[in-house]
Amino acid sequence: HDGLGRKQSDLSSDQRQQRLLERPSLLQYLSYTFNFHTFFAGPICTLKEHLVFMDGSYHMDPDPKPRNVTYPVYSIVSKLVYALLCLAVFTILGKYMSVDYLLDPKYMTSFPSMPITCMLAGTLIRFRFYLIWILADSINNAAGMGFNGYDKDGNPKWDLMTNIKVFEIELALNVRGGFNAFNSTCGKWLRRVCFDRAPFSPTVATLLLSALWHGLYPAYYLMFVFGSVSLMAGRKLRKTVRPYFLSSWGLKLGYDFLSLAATRASYDSMMLVKNFLQLEQALLYWSYSYYLPIIASFVVAVALPVGKSRKEKDSVQSTDKQFVTYPDNISHAKEIKLG
């Protein structure tokens, strides 16, 4: 659509990079749709990225001359090791901590056990996703998919299909940081198809689309509504409250610690409810915390001023700017050989 139905001047940098000026063949389209590297659990790539991968060609900008790209042995092995570690953690600890505990009054009515149970159960559930997506990233690299240009030292990067960044999620100081690092290729897809094109309320529209895409279970919609409010609350806190804590190292450290704790509480209140699926179970789980994370997020989102808006970054920066720019006509791209 962007390549054949819209003017180039109306496109963002990312849309110009991903546009197609030639209609793909039926075989190319089916190859992209049923690509086994991404079909079952992601990560998602664009049609342009898939065609360049299948063609074996890239056009490097600003240096157009071909460069040899070594086979990513280190990237494959290291990601495989991380996946096995996630598998070990989930297998060994999973039997001691089930999401069923989250509905058991024995564990959820006392203060010491309730937050600990939520934190451990939420972490183990995330490790299940870490395992799947890190393993998928390694498999894509093994197939030759995932080359993302060169770093500042001239070394090839193989993170185009990286879908999860564990430390950025677990140590995020706001919900937005965790969202950007979790299922990030899906986040790029949502931004490209919805956020950058929505005529109004792009955040709400994007979260609603994501909820519809996940399914029709009521708990999904509770999760995404709360997620939208949490994003708004975090944005307002960062713009209006955080500047008062930057005057000293101690104040900033204290603010960061509270932000980390609040982000983890938001994770547990938001991401765990989708495992219950049913509305009654989700509300029961929230009731054990007296709905405090939800109420606090709503109060902050409504009470705090908007703050000074920052000039929007270019769309390609907001989707983890990539260093590979693909040619409009893939068949005339310069080849980079794996060797």
Q: Which are the catalytic amino acids?
A: 183, 214
Contact 273, 223 (CB under 8 A): yes
Which secondary structure element, helix H or strand E, spans residue 125, and what is its range? helix 113-143
How far is the CA of 19 from the CAs of 55, 183, 261, 317, in angstroms? 16, 23, 41, 17
Question: Nearest-CA neighbor of 187 among 169, 167, 171?
Answer: 169
How far is the CA of 102 from the CAs of 86, 99, 119, 154, 295, in angstroms? 22, 5, 10, 49, 20
Cα separation, 17 vs 49, in Å, equals: 10
Exposure pattern of 168-207 as b/e (b: 16+ CB <10 Å)?
Answer: ebbebbbbbbbbbbbbbbbbbbbbbebbbeeeeeeebbbb
Contacts 24+ apart (CB under 8 A), 15-19: 15/192, 15/196, 15/315, 17/48, 17/316, 17/322, 17/325, 17/326, 18/46, 18/47, 18/48, 18/49, 18/192, 18/326, 19/48, 19/328
Q: What residues contact residue 228 under an 8 Å CB cut-off, 6+ apart?
A: 203, 204, 207
Q: Which residue has the tokens 């519809």?
A: 212
Cα separation, 338 vs 224, in Å, equals: 42
